[in-house]
Amino acid sequence: MATIKIKKLPSGNIVSPKGFTAAGVHCGIKKEKKDLAILVSEVPASVAGVFTTNAVQAAPLKVTKEVVYQSKKMQAIVVNSGNANACTGKQGLADAYEMQALAADKLGIEPLLVGVASTGVIGEIMNMEPVKKGMAMLSPSSECAGGIDFSEAILTTDIVMKNTAYSTIIDGKEIIISGTAKGSGMIEPNMATMLGFITTDASIETSVLQKALSEITNVTFNAITVDGDTSTNDTVVVMANGLAGNGVLTPQHPEWDQFYSALRLVAEDLAKSIARDGEGATKLIEVEVEGAISHEEARKIAKTVVGSPLVKTAVFGCDANWGRIIAAVGYSGATVDPDKITIKIGGATMVENGEPILFSEEELIEILKQDDVKINVSLGVGEGHGFAWGCDLTYDYVKINASYRT
User: Residues with catalytic annotation?
Assistant: 193
CA–CA distance, 120 with 377 (Å, rounded to integer):
36
Phi, psi angle pair for 10, to nearest 5°: -55, -35
Q: Please give the full DSSP string across 60-124, using - where no structure is assigned.
A: HHHHHHHIIIII-EEEEEEEEEEE---S-HHHHHHHHHHHHHHHHHHHTS-GGGEEEEEEEESS-
CA–CA distance, 46 with 242 (Å, rounded to integer):
8
Q: Are 37 and 148 in contact (CB under 8 A)?
A: no
The single-letter DSSP state of residue 221 is G
Give the amino acid at 266.
V
HSE value, Cβ hemisphere, 13 Å, CA-based, for 337: 12
The residue count for the chain = 406
CA-angle at 292, arms to 290 and 297, nearest 5°: 110
Using alpha carbons, list the distances in angstroms from residue 132 to 24, 78, 87, 174.
14, 12, 22, 38
254 burial type by CB count under 10 A (0-12 exposed, 13-18 middle, 19+ buried): exposed
Using alpha carbons, list the distances in angstroms from residue 211 to 89, 250, 311.
32, 11, 34
Q: Are 340 and 354 in contact (CB under 8 A)?
A: yes
The single-letter DSSP state of residue 204 is B
Q: Residue 389 in 3-state DSSP?
A: strand
Range 163-175 burial, b when 16+ CB lie within 10 A, else e:
bbbbbbebbebeb
User: Among residues 25, 38, 51, which one has the least CA distance to residue 193?
Assistant: 51
CA–CA distance, 257 with 170 (Å, rounded to integer):
10
